[in-house]
Amino acid sequence: MLITLEGIEGSGKTTQIDYIAAYLQKSGLDYAITKEPGGTVLGEKIRSILLDPVNINIHPMTELLLYAADRVQHIKELISPMIESGKIVICDRFHDSTTVYQGFTRGIDISLIQQLNSLVLEGLAPDITFVLDLDPEIGLKRAWKQISDGSRSESETRFENEKLQFHESVRNGYLELARKEPDRFVVVDASNDPAKVWDQISAHLGKCLEKQK
Ligand code: TMP
């Protein structure tokens, strides 16, 4: 089973992944947590290129292919073997990030992104995707606070440096994807405090786990 979390910068994915992990642990289920970009040793190197604010001149197509390269390695080396061994895999961002950031927001042709996604995923698809929906002004404030207090790295701020309009497009992109695939996506209001966000997620997660039994 594959669970993915998506959302704008500062939407609180990491905190919710901690809640999910605690819940699965308590339920005695075997799980693994991973992320994109950077789920593998090779991916960490790709991540540092992609998120370094110094790299302001990365071409959108280069950016797209680096995310795709990270994902191929991640799926082959980690995600597919873990799923095959029966683990529940929780992934912080996955292919929907590519559709939304490189497609809707950077403006690369969506049909090209879809072709690339299907080439990379080879039929793999998340069973459930939580979109943590939030006003980008609030998300960015949270993200920059984490950067200034040191809980997020300053060397990974290339996207945080984008204009508010960029983040609004990302938010709208996720909402559009969720409207198109209501059976897979669950949009949660991430402006609430973390425990309330978790209440929304746990209700859906419980149902999804029941279905998989
Ligand atoms: P994060 O690990 O803090 O969420 O940062 C990852 C950044 O990379 C985030 O700004 C979204 C961006 N991203 C893409 O643009 N495309 C992708 O395919 C993925 C996985 C992430």
Task: Summarize pLDDT for 72-92 with one digit per residue, the tens.
Answer: 999 999 999 999 999 999 999
36 lines ligand 1 (CB under 6 A): yes
Residue identifier of the C-alpha nearest atom 1 of ligand 1: 9
Q: How far apart are CA 82 and CA 9, in angstroms?
A: 27
| CB 93 less than 6 A from any atom of ligand 1 | yes
Instruction: Give 2-212's CATH code, choosing from 3.40.50.620, 3.20.20.70, 3.30.70.1230, 3.40.50.300.
Output: 3.40.50.300
Are 74 and 36 within 8 A, CB to CB? Answer: yes
In a structure prediction context, what are the per-residue pLDDT tens digits for the chain, which is 213 residues long?
Answer: 999 999 999 999 999 999 999 999 999 999 999 999 999 999 999 999 999 999 999 999 999 999 999 999 999 999 999 999 999 999 999 999 999 999 999 999 999 999 999 999 999 999 999 999 999 999 999 999 999 999 999 999 999 999 999 999 999 999 999 999 999 999 999 999 999 999 999 999 999 998 887
pTM (predicted TM-score): 0.98
31 burial (CB, 10 Å; 0-12 / 13-18 / 19+) is middle
Q: Is the CB of 97 under 6 A from ligand 1?
A: yes
Q: Is 105 in the pocket of ligand 1 (CB under 6 A)?
A: no
Domain extent listing, the chain: 2-212
β-bridge pairing 88-92 and 2-7? parallel
User: How far apart are the CA of 24 and the centre of ligand 1, in A?
Assistant: 25
Measured CA to CA in angstroms, residue 40 lies from 47, 55, 77, 78, 161 at distances of 10, 21, 8, 8, 25
